[in-house]
Chain A
């Protein structure tokens, strides 16, 4: 092929192609080729905080996770399966003594890494080590604008201060920091101040209102869900923020969930699986179980017993999910609130008894948001 052929022009153009176009191509291709593009690994269940709304069970919180050698082997397997965007989650990942070995191994394999953390163990020295590994982003949880709110929710006095210190250190070193929050009946009134704080810290905000049940279906975290009036008030604020804010992130914009078959990041809520679960997303949990997503805690196989690639391709469960994903959800088709719907099939499974069912929580939020938008 001649260098002056149209393909060369394509190659050249592609360097400066719009990121959204590349993402669209990437999502569509990974979907078609069944590539686990977005993979999240749960390195440990242990955590130094004791968040009241945590979805981990007491048993999971004592689980130290797989060994270094097992994670190394898994990273090799994920690499060969085409996984690219790798999120490292916990528990609190910085409790693992071998964390940097695992990150460095991931970087050697040219993964793009995202670190999920509460930040409290990130000193200036640790932040420097993090920066040296060139993560795509560090995602830090901050549950309020006031120390007393955040510390009450985390159950650890002083955690707010440490988390803020970590964010400042990371931002100063040029690391992209995403500050995440779940709006609850405890903290939602701090939304405006929280967003100002995030902006002042030089980070990107991301939030949602989905307080999820525990991994075993325990409903205690859902006590912190906002009431109808609170949701309405928060959404009025969100709408004003959307008008003012030109940031890349914002409400309910978790890139991990939104990989659609058309390469579009909005979810098709009337389908059983309108997200990327089992298509180009998966999770490997603390025990090595391969899960379609963080909410659907049904194992497709265990990587300590068989290779990841075989589980990902051949698991009967994952293939069943893939087969039903386009089916309509009974009761969702024709719903007047679809536009505002944040239906998560995993949440429908955990709370409402089935992946193919309506999510009562999503129905409630969508109805309230729609009413606010009609005001």
Chain B
């Protein structure tokens, strides 16, 4: 089953000049996301599942499905690792 995600509720963010600036207070870290990375994060924050996210990325950026799936998965893992998003249990 594909994992769903959500914004880390502790985080704060702003979209500034088309890029997301995200603060994770419990880690005192600041992150910046642009372009595809920003889109993946937005979809994750909307509660979309990994599968849905990679599908949307493949459509919106016109890339092959397996490439989108692989890269979206990798990026989502990075977002989770940095506490920017959190996986949701069903």
Contacts and interface: CB of A to CB of B under 8 A. Distances in A.
A35 B25 contact: no
Q: How many B residues are at the interface, by size bracket?
A: 35 or more
B57 A3 contact: yes
A16 B63 CA distance: 25
A14 interface: yes
Interface string B30-46: 11111111101000000
B58 to A, nearest CB: 8
A2 B79 contact: no
B75 A12 contact: yes
A3 B34 contact: no
Contacts of A111: 12
Contacts of B49: none
A112 interface: yes
Nearest to B7: A110
Given A29-B16, A84-B14, A15 B25 contact: no
A15 B16 contact: no
Given A4-B71, A134-B25, A176-B28, A11 B16 contact: no
Interface residues of A, number: 36
Interface stretch (A17-25, A60-68, A263-271, A291-299): A17-25
A15 B79 contact: yes
Given A1-B61, A2-B63, A3-B68, A11 B33 contact: yes
A91 interface: no
Interface string A129-140: 000001111000
Nearest to A174: B26
A174 B10 CA distance: 12
B83 to A, nearest CB: 11
A82 B19 CA distance: 12
Contacts of A19: 29-30
B23 A136 contact: yes
B37 A11 contact: yes
A107 interface: yes
A163 interface: no
A22 B31 contact: yes
Contacts of B33: 11, 14-15
Contacts of B58: 3
A3 B25 contact: no
Interface in B31-85: 31-38, 40, 57-58, 61-63, 67-68, 71, 75, 78-79, 82, 84
5 contacts: A8-B35, A8-B37, A14-B37, A33-B16, A136-B25
The 5 closest A-B pairs by CB, nearest first: A11-B37, A134-B10, A112-B12, A7-B35, A84-B14
